[in-house]
Copies of this chain bind each other. A is one copy, B any other.
Amino acid sequence: MIKPDDLKQSPILVSLMQETRAAFAERAFSRNISTGTTLVVEGMPAEYCYFIASGHFRVLHMNPEGRVQVIARLTPGLPINLISLLNKEKINLATVEALTPARVLILTTFDFEYLLTNFPDFSKVMLYVFAERLKNMTQLATGLSLYTVKARLARFLIELADETSPFDGWTQDEIAAQIGTVRDVVGRLLREFENQGLITRNRHRVVLLDRKGLTETANQID
């Protein structure tokens, strides 16, 4: 059983009205997730949506070859699989995996729709969340199309450095899946950046040395 006040932990749900949180808490149940668990599988019928109580997730697509593109990384508070529920086919549109131990609050499709229709502030908050995600997706798409891998990696490193809660499970494979390339290329470019004195690396952790220089390569087109 979930207590309404527990939901105040969530940076998203906290902005709901008291009664909305109560209705949410009444219907949701919670579940613990261990690292690496696949919470949602693309192509399967969509039955639930989730709200992250704690932990990190990644949303991804895979092509027939097995190459992966990460669509989004989700942090506590954010919803999972809403879009699948809102699309009338009700099929999971992407795969979602836990990157850390995590806990999620689960709603059935039915309860989710109930909240949506009866608690206006709920759908309004979701709208803001979607706007944010749409912005990120746009950046991802335009990055992939209009900038080189080098520029995308430079951007990624800068954003990473600015992150408030640094996640440090970044393997080269992870980075590659994030910026839309393969491991080998990431390795090569990191070496190149290191030789140029833009970064240093010790123990799988990248440290920016020359932020301005990196910003330049992030905008380079040649």
Interface residues of A (CB under 8 A from B): 61-65, 67, 69, 71, 82-83, 86-87, 93-94, 116-117, 120, 123-124, 126-128, 130-135, 137-138, 140-142, 144-147, 180, 219, 221
Contact = CB atoms under 8 A, between A and B. Distances in A.
11 contacts: A61-B142, A61-B146, A63-B146, A67-B146, A69-B141, A71-B138, A82-B131, A83-B135, A86-B127, A86-B131, A117-B124
Contacts of A141: 69, 71, 137, 140-141, 144
Contacts of A138: 61, 71, 93-94, 137
B131 A180 contact: no
Given A71-B138, A134-B133, A138-B71, A63 B93 contact: no
Nearest to A59: B138
Given A63-B221, A67-B146, 11 more contacts: A61-B138, A61-B146, A64-B221, A69-B141, A71-B141, A87-B131, A87-B135, A123-B127, A130-B134, A144-B144, A144-B180
Nearest to A86: B131
A63 B144 CA distance: 11
What is the oligomeric copy number?
A: 2
Contacts of A126: 127
Contacts of A93: 135, 138
Contacts of A219: 64
A131 B130 contact: yes
Given A61-B138, A145-B180, A130 B132 contact: no
A77 B62 CA distance: 33
A124 B131 contact: no
A86 B128 contact: yes
A140 B65 CA distance: 18
A134 B137 contact: yes
Contacts of A65: 221
